[in-house]
Amino acid sequence: MKIITTVSELKAEIRAWKKDGFSIGLVPTMGFLHEGHESLIKRAVSENDKVVVSIFVNPIQFGPNEDFESYPRDLNKDAALCEANRVSAVFAPDVAEMYYRDSCTIVDVSYISEPLCGRKRPGHFRGVCTVVSKLFNLTKADRAYFGEKDAQQLAVVKRMVRDLNFDVEVKGCPIVREADGLAKSSRNTYLNEKERAAALVLSRSLFHAREHIRSLEGRTAKAKDVIRMISDEIMNEPMARIDYVEIVDSENLRDADDLKGGILIALAVFIGKTRLIDNIMLEI
């Protein structure tokens, strides 16, 4: 496995792979890899001849007062995990390598990026789409792998690929959870023991909502009632502060009043100072 830190070296490697007819899979990450990332990597390795894992904490997707400087980083550990899973190359550039000093080009996907996290983190998805489009261009990937935990990110990237005619297949991969239900996240490392226990309210409230909807046996549920049920459960946890709880159409991410068809129940909750997200998708 190679660890590549420059654009020129990555381009040369990709050219050689393409010349030999290899298929290429890309797993874009911000590093501090966990079992969720590993599941993406394993799938990519199983479906492609060569796999690139990018490890880059992307500054332009962080807003003011967010955790760019403190975001956890451990390249040595990440590289070991990648090598153990037969990754071909880790691309770990620094910021100056990825963005020219006078860079003035961005990729902005409107509409689908505006609700949910987009409403709370203006500019976030502009940063995501800009860096992901650069990675698509650099790696010439045939397939790219994203986790369904970041459901809006996955939807936004798919729309960008469709609208801009990128020649890459975007693959969504299931959420990986701890044994007690907490969704795997690099930000879980910010939680102390009490906060870690409190964070279980995210998945617990979602699972209770899913059970409630299924118990209706064909009767139509109102989104506002399910949102209230989830919110009440979260607010009963003293360490939790709701950022949002929303139910949207899983395709266009617009509010769903009646729960019909494909729906996404998504939430963002602060546990102490740490903002966590989680979701479930249902077909009704």
Order of all β-strands in the sheet with 262-271 = 240-249, 262-271, 274-283
- Alpha-carbon dihedral sign for residues 192, 193, 196, 201: negative
Question: How many degrees, rounded to 5, is the angle at CA 62 between CA 139 and CA 122?
Answer: 105
CA distances from 201 to 91, 93, 194, 222, 271 (A): 36, 37, 12, 22, 10
Q: How many CA atoms lie within 13 A of 82 on its CB side?
A: 29
Other C-beta atoms lying within 10 Å of the C-beta of residue 254: 11
Return the structure tokens found at 161: 């690929």
Annotated catalytic, 37?
yes
DSSP 281: E
Identified catalytic residue from 37, 124, 208, 212 = 37
Q: Kindly list the catalytic residues.
A: 37
